[in-house]
């Protein structure tokens, strides 16, 4: 599933939830959060602007091979003439255009343009990587908010349960049914649970702040995320897809191609250059040439044309040094391809391993939650008849909470690892997620096509403005958890 597949699940598949809260009517979905980041995240918008700057390298390099026209003008007042000059004028006006047509530059212009085009392609791949990285960060932040809300609810519920336990224990102590040790144990567990609740609330505020930073808005009763589509059947398939589609690897390959053209550009410094030129001059002496003597023209027009050839003879080794330097950088670029390839393979395999491990933890945690629930019921029943101690009840309650926390955390980890796997494979960008209809996606190729052939010196874009939304007016998040149903412990995979 490549393009448009995720959008169907984003719209229709929210029932397959990771943290299955009851979805409120006015809640944010993962699709909405990603869409807002796609449109308003300053890091992504800055990357697009930087890519537009890279696009301009193509017309900049092309301009070196395009004919140029210059015009010069001067007006001179002769304040003191040479005593030996009998015809010098008192004032002179000169105006003249010059046309220069590059014919041959040793391949420097052609290879510079090719290198610029390769870097445009590399920049577009970099933009994909930045987009994918921001989406991965946002998915993690989204899941962190949901997980933190679940953990706050679990911690608050545990505080409530232990408060009731402490009261019941105190009552039984008053009638002599339990000891002061039982009361102390209940008090200790309640105090620890209250500390856990405060830590969970702090983590929730931190998660919401990260969400605000990425999206530009506060999270509003987040809905459960959809199931992830397009995940590979095995790790080898994932690696193959990543080696073909990972944007970082693509960018490095294109930069290596550009470095090869840079080597050719450097070598062209030892070759001749040829250009054509033509010019014209108009001169007006204002009737002062030779004192204004008759029969002498007081203005004139001249023209010239020719060919200019420049042949380097000796430059102190400069062209060779530049070419060796370019070759070394080309070698570094080739080595970087292998380094990135290794990194991509490691990312994919690690993400796959984390995803599979989390799925296994989910399965075992579900069993643990069910068993711990039954165990707690039994221990409470046995305590009521005196065959179990208060400590046994407290331990059983803690074991159940621990299993629930483990399950919620594993579901968060599985989702984030699955999305990270898609990102490493090059399949976690807006074009893959199908957020918008045709023509609504930002396509960096559009700007490149717009500017690559422009030759008008006075063409410019509108004055720069920042489009990203600011967060200075977004209220500081709290640790309040919206009303929700039972914390979702149903299987998601």
Is the pTM value of this prediction over 0.75?
A: yes
* Rama region for 369: left / alpha / beta (φ>0; ψ in -120 to 50; rest): alpha
Q: What is the pLDDT of residues 27-72, one digit of tens each?
A: 689 999 999 999 999 999 999 999 999 999 999 999 999 999 999 9
Q: What is the pLDDT of residues 337-378, one digit of tens each?
A: 999 999 999 999 999 999 999 999 999 999 999 999 999 999
User: Are 301 and 217 a contacting pair, CB within 8 Å?
Assistant: no
Nearest to 296 by CA among 305, 281, 285: 285
Nearest to 471 by CA among 218, 134, 221: 218
- 248: confidence class by pLDDT, cuts 50, 70, 90: very high
Q: What is the pLDDT of residues 198-226, one digit of tens each?
A: 999 999 999 999 999 999 999 999 999 98
Lowest mean pLDDT among 98-107, 289-298, 418-427, 430-439: 430-439
What's the pLDDT score for residue 434?
A: 75
CATH superfamily of 5-67+114-270+326-451: Outer membrane efflux proteins (OEP) (1.20.1600.10)
What's the pLDDT score for residue 436?
A: 67
The mean pLDDT value for 397-421 works out to: 95
What's the pLDDT score for residue 88?
A: 87
The mean pLDDT value for 302-315 works out to: 95
The mean pLDDT value for 412-439 works out to: 88
What's the pLDDT score for residue 28?
A: 86
| Token reading at 153 | 């609810």
User: Are 412 and 147 a contacting pair, CB within 8 Å?
Assistant: yes
The rounded Cα 396 to chain-centroid distance in angstroms is 46
- 75: confidence class by pLDDT, cuts 50, 70, 90: very high
Task: Supply the mean pLDDT for the chain.
Answer: 89
C-alpha separations of 317 from 127, 313, 323, 326 in Å: 39, 11, 10, 14
The rounded Cα 11 to chain-centroid distance in angstroms is 24
What's the pLDDT score for residue 424?
A: 96
Q: How many residues does the chain have?
A: 493
User: Are 39 and 138 a contacting pair, CB within 8 Å?
Assistant: no
How far apart, in whole angstroms, are the C-alpha atoms of residue 413 and residue 107? 54
What's the pLDDT score for residue 27?
A: 65
Phi/psi at 26 (5° precision) = -105, 70
Lowest mean pLDDT among 179-193, 350-364, 380-394, 406-420: 380-394
What's the pLDDT score for residue 9?
A: 33
User: Are 286 and 91 a contacting pair, CB within 8 Å?
Assistant: yes
Domain spans of the chain?
5-67+114-270+326-451
Lowest mean pLDDT among 67-81, 378-392, 462-476: 378-392
Lowest mean pLDDT among 42-46, 53-57, 238-242, 489-493: 489-493
Strand partners of residue 76: 92
Residue labelled with tokens 């998660």? 207
Lowest mean pLDDT among 101-115, 170-184, 431-445: 431-445
Q: What percent of the chain has pLDDT over 90?
A: 74
What's the pLDDT score for residue 356?
A: 96
C-alpha separations of 481 from 193, 220, 294, 476 in Å: 17, 10, 101, 15
- Three-state secondary structure along the chain? CCCCHHHHHHHHCCCCCCCCCCCCCCCCCHHHHHHHHHHHCHHHHHHHHHHHHHHCHHHHHHHHHCCEEEEEEEEEECCCCCCCCCCCCCEEEEEEEEEEEEEECCCHHHHHHHHHHHHHHHHHHHHHHHHHHHHHHHHHHHHHHHHHHHHHHHHHHHHHHHHHHHHHHHHHHHCCCCCHHHHHHHHHHHHHHHHHHHHHHHHHHHHHHHHHHHHCCCCCCCCCCCCCCCCCCCHHHHHHHHHHHCHHHHHHHHHHHHHHHHHHHHHHHHCCEEEEEEEEEEEECCCCHHHHCCCCCCEEEEEEEEEEEECCCCCCCHHHHHHHHHHHHHHHHHHHHHHHHHHHHHHHHHHHHHHHHHHHHHHHHHHHHHHHHHHHHHHHHHHHCCCCCHHHHHHHHHHHHHHHHHHHHHHHHHHHHHHHHHHHCCCCCHHHHCCCCCCCCCCHHHHHHHHCCCCCCCCCCCCCCCCCCCCCCCCCCCCCCCCCCCCCCCCCC
What's the pLDDT score for residue 19?
A: 45
Is the pLDDT at 179 greater than 90, yes or no? no
With a CB cutoff of 8 Å and minimum separation 6, the contacts of 483 are: 22, 24
Q: Looking at per-residue confidence, does 175 or 484 come out higher?
A: 175
What is the widest separation between alpha-carbon atoms in the chain?
138
């Amino acid at each position: 599933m490549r393009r448009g597949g995720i959008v169907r699940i984003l719209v229709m598949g929210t029932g397959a939830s990771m943290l299955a809260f009851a979805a409120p009517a006015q809640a944010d979905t993962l699709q909405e959060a990603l869409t807002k980041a796609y449109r308003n995240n300053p890091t992504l918008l800055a990357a697009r602007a930087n890519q537009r700057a890279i696009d301009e390298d193509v017309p900049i390099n092309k301009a070196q091979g395009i004919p140029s026209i210059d015009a010069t003008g001067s007006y001179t007042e002769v304040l003191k003439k040479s005593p030996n000059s009998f015809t010098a004028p008192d004032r002179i006006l000169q105006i003249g255009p010059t046309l220069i047509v590059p014919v041959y530059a040793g391949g420097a212009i052609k290879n510079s343009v090719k290198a610029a085009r390769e870097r445009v392609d590399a920049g577009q791949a970099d933009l994909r990587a930045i987009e994918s990285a921001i989406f991965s960060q946002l998915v993690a932040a989204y899941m962190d908010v949901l997980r933190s809300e679940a953990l706050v609810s679990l911690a608050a519920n545990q505080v409530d349960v232990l408060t009731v336990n402490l009261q019941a224990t105190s009552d039984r102590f008053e009638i002599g049914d339990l000891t002061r040790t039982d009361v102390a144990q209940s008090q200790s567990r309640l105090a620890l649970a209250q500390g856990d609740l405060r830590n969970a609330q702090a983590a929730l505020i931190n998660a919401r702040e990260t969400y605000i930073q990425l999206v530009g808005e506060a999270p509003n009763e987040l809905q459960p995320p959809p199931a992830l589509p397009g995940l590979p059947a095995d790790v080898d398939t994932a690696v193959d897809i990543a080696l073909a589609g990972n944007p970082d690897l693509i960018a490095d390959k294109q930069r290596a191609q550009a470095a090869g053209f840079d080597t050719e550009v450097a070598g062209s410094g030892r070759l001749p250059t040829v250009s054509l030129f033509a010019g014209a001059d108009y001169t007006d002496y204002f009737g002062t040439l030779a004192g204004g003597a008759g029969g002498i023209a007081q203005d004139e027009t001249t023209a010239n044309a020719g060919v200019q050839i420049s042949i380097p003879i000796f430059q102190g080794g400069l062209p060779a040094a530049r070419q060796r330097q370019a070759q070394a950088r080309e070698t570094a670029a080739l080595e970087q391809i292998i380094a990135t390839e290794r990194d991509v393979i490691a990312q994919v395999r690690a993400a796959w391993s984390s995803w599979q491990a989390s799925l296994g933890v989910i399965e075992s945690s579900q069993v643990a939650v069910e068993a711990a629930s039954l165990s707690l019921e039994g221990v409470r029943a046995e305590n009521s008849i005196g065959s179990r101690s208060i400590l046994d009840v407290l331990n059983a309650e803690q074991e159940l909470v621990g299993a629930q926390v483990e399950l919620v955390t594993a579901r968060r980890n599985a989702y984030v690892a699955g999305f990270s796997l898609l990102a490493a494979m090059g399949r976690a960008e807006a074009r893959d997620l199908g957020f918008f209809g045709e023509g609504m996606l930002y396509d960096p190729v559009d700007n490149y096509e717009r500017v690559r052939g422009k030759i008008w010196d006075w063409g410019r874009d509108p004055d720069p403005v920042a489009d990203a939304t600011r967060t200075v007016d977004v209220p500081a998040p709290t640790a309040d958890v919206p009303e929700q149903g039972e914390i979702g412990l149903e299987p998601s995979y």
